[in-house]
Chains A and B, each alone.
Chain A
Amino acid sequence: MTDIAIVAYHQSKAVSDVGACNEVELIMPVLTEVYRQLGIANAQDVDFVCSGSCDYLQGAAFAFVAGVDALGAVPPIRESHVEMDAAWALYESMLKIRMGHAESALIYGFGKSSPGELPIVLSQQLDPYYLAPLWLDSISLAAMQARILLDAGRISERDMAEVVSRSRRNALANPNAQLAGDISADDVLAEETYVSPLRRADCAPVSDGASAMIICTVEKAREWGVPYALITGIDHRMETHNLGMRDLTDSRSTRLAAEGAGVGAGKVDVAELYAPFSHQELILIRALGLGDETSVNPSGGVLAGNLMMASGLSRIGEVFNRIIAGEAERGIAHATSGPCLQHNLVTVVEKA
């Protein structure tokens, strides 16, 4: 399969409430920045555009239609949208390039989650007859998953607190982070529980923001003459929606996706994992077979700021940044969707 190059990436600051800023105003600044990185003018200078967003976050049907106003889509452009995290928009874009219908693609994701009650909005992702009518929120679902891990002795509360501590400390070096600080595992454990066994710090914050990326063929990357990294593998897998039929201590779909993406083919220097809850990072590390040689979530991950519908794309972008900075040669990025890691995407990014 043809390798595809990442040539530009930018993410807005993750903030708890971006305030007077609509979809277009959220998207335009990140697009402007990726255009600047390549020295291009607008979406006319790429062959395909694909975005990821979710209408229910801000409570308006067709929220993504407004996004098109940010693109400069006159004359008309080749454009598509997934009602998913933009990591899946990247997946769609890669197919477009691989079928020879595009040399380059702009991908963006955006989410303004602050207007609604996110965990309750997400409860309406669940089975509409058995679960959604109970208003079973996303945090409570994750809490039940965490308890299964704790009961099974697979992890301890300290393990979870250490994930949080590492996230907050790593985030100190991430200017886009919403939550950062020199916090120890003991500090976290001293917090009272929120939705037991989870503490607030175990849960990703609610954030507003956007991110954007440009990918292209290797030939096009050379033509643009910018530093680039290569996507050498990508795969994503779904699991059953019935939580009771899944092994919640593991992520089978992540294992399958990692296998499909070829994670095991080499050393993994860096991994950016979309784990909205601390215990899920531990599940993912195990499912991906990561060891001590891998730096996990050097950005702080989504516990430091979670841009719904963009966080998955941002994980890929964070790995890209490490490779371009020379801090890593090979990394993996993970994206997730659905309750308790139901749907997972794994990308392998390597130095060109």
Chain B
Amino acid sequence: MSQPDILNQAFELGFTYTRSTGPVVGRFLTELRDRNIVGIKASDGRVVVPPMEYDPDTAEALSEFVDVGEEGEVVSFAWVKEPRESHPSEQPFAWAMIKLDGADVPMVHWIRAGREADVSTGVRVRAVWAEETVGFITDINGFELVPEEMS
């Protein structure tokens, strides 16, 4: 048996997918483009953001949209001190579960913050809008901490 060379090569597996959203996801993204956040009412009355198409408990299709605030409270977070290349921030940041005002179920997004110590459970954050909104989840260009005197 011959001794082979070790053959290594980097490659990229990539494609830009063209997704159709359907009415529920589409409504949420349309509102985001207009710098507004909507949730949807689940069968038990809880407001879910971003809106789910189908209720996890009853499996029924959901359709009752509810406006929610662009501020909310951190329910949990993870501090990323070394962001990965594909992460939304090149600076250290926090992933967070954020319960927006008017919502009952937290959504997951990210928080810009200088230091880990600045973020804590219960802290208030506000959506930062992208300069140009296009109807994509990154129209919320992360959340920022709301100074305490303002909250």
Contact = CB atoms under 8 A, between A and B. Distances in A.
A–B: direct contact at CB < 8 Å: yes
Interface of A: 19-20, 59, 117, 119-120, 123, 128-131, 133-137, 139-141, 143-145, 147-148, 151, 193-198, 240-245, 248
Contacts of B77: 144, 147
A242 B6 contact: no
A144 B48 contact: no
Nearest to B5: A20
Contact of B79 (A19, A196, A240): A196
A137 B48 contact: no
Contact of A143 (B87, B88, B95, B106): B95
Interface in B91-119: 95-97, 99, 105-110, 116
B146 interface: no
Given A20-B4, A242-B48, A134 B138 contact: yes
A128 B11 contact: no
A120 B95 CA distance: 14
Contacts of A194: 81
7 contacts: A120-B86, A131-B137, A134-B110, A140-B80, A148-B75, A197-B79, A241-B56
Contacts of B25: 129-130
A148 B96 CA distance: 11
Nearest to B29: A129
B96 A129 contact: no
Contact of B19 (A117, A129, A242, A244): A129
Interface string B4-29: 10110001010001010100010001
Given A59-B11, A151-B76, A131 B48 contact: no
Contacts of B110: 134
A143 B116 CA distance: 14
B88 A135 contact: yes
A151 B121 contact: yes
A153 to B, nearest CB: 12
B97 A244 contact: yes
Nearest to A58: B13
Given A144-B97, A244-B48, A134 B79 contact: no
* 7 pairs of A and B residues whose beta carbons are closest in the complex: A143-B78, A240-B56, A196-B79, A135-B86, A244-B105, A244-B106, A59-B13
B12 to A, nearest CB: 9
Given A20-B7, A143-B95, A244-B97, A134 B80 contact: no
B52 interface: yes
A245 B125 CA distance: 20
Given A135-B86, A245-B42, 10 more contacts: A120-B84, A129-B25, A139-B78, A144-B95, A144-B97, A241-B56, A242-B48, A242-B105, A244-B99, A245-B46
Interface in B62-79: 75-79
B105 A245 contact: yes
A128 B19 CA distance: 9
Nearest to A128: B19
Contacts of B52: 242
Nearest to B80: A195
Contact of A137 (B6, B42, B84, B96): B84
A242 B54 CA distance: 11
Contacts of B76: 144-145, 147-148, 151, 248
Nearest to A56: B13
Nearest to B6: A20
A254 to B, nearest CB: 17
B87 A135 contact: yes
A119 B95 CA distance: 14
A293 B29 CA distance: 52
A133 B136 contact: yes
Nearest to A147: B76
Contacts of B99: 244
Contacts of A131: 108, 137
Nearest to A132: B137
Contact of B50 (A119, A130, A143, A193): A130
B97 A133 contact: no
A49 B57 CA distance: 35
Contacts of A144: 76-78, 95-97, 108
A117 B84 CA distance: 10
Contacts of B121: 147, 151
Nearest to B56: A240
Given A120-B84, A140-B78, A242 B56 contact: yes
A193 B4 contact: no
Contacts of B42: 245
